[in-house]
Structure 1
């Protein structure tokens, strides 16, 4: 199974990319859709929101009044944190149910609006970020979703910056051009990177001839998080190696941990040993990565 995180600022066009990936064969786990499901009438999620914010967040029929909740939750940081503390665990649990049901060879795309804000990138083999200029996004939100300009700007300001998204992105999808251009790019990404990456993971093999990342230091920084998440207590330290032309990290094993244990832990994350058991190469055909193990 290959897991892909899809994110982007509100109004950037993330849903357009998700629909195209689904058409191509991906299993979409839509964070926004699940977030609506877990607060439907009669759910523990809706009850928790009423307890936290009062009955003013309910519509006349007892369902969630989303504009009223948004006006409260996006007004200040504490309210937003309260909202996230209620909904995020519920969304996470339901997402995992859908991922498990998809099967071991699926290409899973998790559509997560706040992936960057929640530092969730290390959970995924690839993070795709859909981008459009903030002013373009404001226009889309006003014309297509009926938001006021003030509300649109407040939503955008409450989310991650472009710089934060760039740091998290393995793939940057520019959706500021003609409507069809992003779809062409998504199809190319699917054929040349996502599908081959999934095959490599299924076959437990490293990529051959992968190009150097555009920014090796940034790729190494993302790699640190993925390796840490995979190894946990089996690693004493995971350090980015910025002196290479690939995304590279060095792992120091915890006392008593063997190479085989490290390799087994990193295999689901897409890293496999070659002739040298201390060097594992990434399965991503779109960017060369390497993990060197010592200790």
Structure 2
């Protein structure tokens, strides 16, 4: 049995399959063909998909529940106040009980160790819907969005990240490199990428000839970028440090100054929710922004994850429609 924990756990070919499956299900969904809908609806009919969420969510909850319903499963949302997890019952006990009754578990949790514990004790696939180290569903969604907008298969692209060294860029950087894109990461002084990600990225670049750059200069990183992307500077659970973090991130807002040195046809991405300190309104709502197309694609990323890890039991080589 295989779980979806991070993009670095997948081969380049396996990750490509996930992005292509997301693209496939988007076409099915948009075509609105009742025959196709019925065929997919039967795949998990009568089953339940659990959503264990320790953190609040908009896109992740809607996309996960929507993907489960698409395949005929009943989504069951289990928030931190809905079950005994970590209160009157151990992680082990809860995982054993929940996984015995469901087809898979979407887990949006705090620490990576919680994802690891779920994977260790679960009898069904765990789909990491966010932890403090990784966010693989966002990476699948982002690669589908870039493929649609700029076609990384036909064009050599540079993706520039301006912001924190967090879970989103950990998976996004690896995803971009696996698909042949170059990456530049600009973080404030004192903030460095996780060494595990740096090592994994180095191995990919050596293998496929892509490039990755780490810098504390946001303008230098933005030069020639085809995609400018950022995320929140103050993650959930870090609100106590907001004043200090915003001071540290001065000069890292994506604005017209950075846009002026990017590729003339650059696209702006953000996984949302967005705050003003991260990007100016003219960029966020402007002609280069694809944030809402990106948000919609979370649905198809969740569909791809269920299809590969649940419907096809983690077998990437024999995908069945």
Task: Work out whether the TM-score is over 0.5.
Answer: no
TM-score, normalization by structure 1: 0.25
TM-score, normalization by structure 2: 0.23
Please identify the structure whose Cα radius of gyration is greater.
Answer: 1
